[in-house]
Amino acid sequence: MPLEARTWVRKMRGGSQAHLLVAEDGHHYVVKCRQNPQHRRILVNEWVSSALLEYLEIPTPRAEMIHLSEEFLREHPELSIQFGQRLEPVAPGWHFGSRLPVDPNRVALYDYLPDALLRQVANLGDFLGALVFDKWVNNTDSRQSVFFRAQVREWSEAARHSRRQAFVSLMIDHGYVFGGPYWQLDGSPLTGLYFRPLVYETVTGLASFEPWLERVVHCPMEPLDKAFRRVPESWLDGDRDEFERVLERLWKRRPRVPGLIEETRNARGNPFPQWR
């Protein structure tokens, strides 16, 4: 549901110069603007990734289109993008919003956890699903995730009977899937990995990447099609045909994904020490 922005909260760190806003639904959103310094195309990448991750059942924040009105932007000159010394105002229109899973005034969100706490994350196995996704879509950024404490059953289908409170992880930052602005699908074997090796400690073979590998290999065209049809025109801005071809190539490369995981295993510094 497209939403109007209501309150500006602060600037976020990071290459896309995102802003934290509250929208009309009362939720907080990290908003990447169409004029972000990475590229307009990263909004398209984020949007489609969100739909594919949902299809693959890999936990990720809800994505929404956020509208910044002329009036809102006039009230918040802080909403600008820095290009070197130059400050460029954000233009009114639709931008990409990634919803915070919790109210940040009440629950702490973490970009990183030390290994001792990382081990306690209830859905640590989802990092294996995320690698399957990242290989499929050629995420040329490293894997990023956000952590917070929650009732596990509210976030994980697999733990729906659990009464436990624990750290949960959601996969974020998909601006550099499809090679970022380049929309290329061929990448190197070591991209897309998470910087803490412990998330891959349990890998003993390709079977460790199920059920996600199976889901990718047998993914119908429909989720891709549906995501494509919903990309706002102003984000594609003449790129619609090219992006359609990217998605066709993505669909065709499904059977290659197990091989891409094997290439990662065979790369220098095999990240899966238990896979012999």
Q: Give the binding site for ligand ATP (CB under 6 A).
A: 12, 14-16, 18, 30, 61, 98-100, 109, 111, 141, 144, 146, 172-173, 175
- Segment contacting Mg ion (CB under 5 A): 88-96, 115-123, 147-155, 169-177? 169-177
Site string for Mg ion, 123-152 (x = CB under 5 A): ---------------------x--------
3-state SS class at 166: strand
Q: List the single partner that 227 binds among Mg ion, ligand ATP, none, CB under 5 to 8 Å by kind.
A: none
Q: Are 95 and 68 in contact (CB under 8 A)?
A: yes
| Orientation angle between helical segments 222-229 and 41-56, nearest 10 degrees | 140
Q: How far is the CB of 176 from Mg ion (least distance, A)?
A: 9
- One-character DSSP codes across 31-60: EE-TT-SS-THHHHHHHHHHHHHHHHT---
Closer residue to Mg ion in complex, CB, 199/203: 199
Site string for Mg ion, 6-25 (x = CB under 5 A): --------x-----------
Applying CB under 5 A, the site for Mg ion has a residue count of: 3
Return d(Cα 198, Cα 188) in angstroms, integer: 21
3-state SS class at 74: helix
Closer residue to ligand ATP in complex, CB, 48/100: 100
Question: What backbone phi and psi angles, to 5 degrees, belong to 20?
Answer: -95, 125
For residue 23, give the nearest of 72, 80, 90 by alpha carbon.
72
Return d(Cα 160, Cα 40) in angstroms, integer: 38
Return d(Cα 275, Cα 73) in angstroms, integer: 53
For residue 140, give the nearest of 110, 100, 184, 97 by alpha carbon.
184
Q: How far is the CB of 46 from ligand ATP (least distance, A)?
A: 8
Q: How far is the CB of 29 from ligand ATP (least distance, A)?
A: 7
Q: How far is the CB of 203 from ligand ATP (least distance, A)?
A: 25
Q: List the single partner that 64 binds among Mg ion, ligand ATP, none, CB under 5 to 8 Å by kind.
A: none
Q: How far is the CB of 106 from ligand ATP (least distance, A)?
A: 14
Closer residue to Mg ion in complex, CB, 36/264: 36
3-state SS class at 249: helix
Where do we find the tokens 């896979």?
275
Q: How far is the CB of 76 from ligand ATP (least distance, A)?
A: 18
Enumerate residues 72-101 that contact Mg ion by CB under 5 A: none
Return d(Cα 194, Cα 28) in angstroms, integer: 26
Q: Are 257 and 217 in contact (CB under 8 A)?
A: yes
* Chain position whose Cβ is nearest to Mg ion: 173
Q: How far is the CB of 96 from ligand ATP (least distance, A)?
A: 9
Closer residue to Mg ion in complex, CB, 144/145: 144
Applying CB under 5 A, which of residues 173, 187, 194, 199 lies at the interface with Mg ion? 173
Residue 8: count of CB within 10 angstroms of its CB: 19
Q: List the single partner that 145 binds among ligand ATP, Mg ion, none, CB under 5 to 8 Å by kind.
A: none
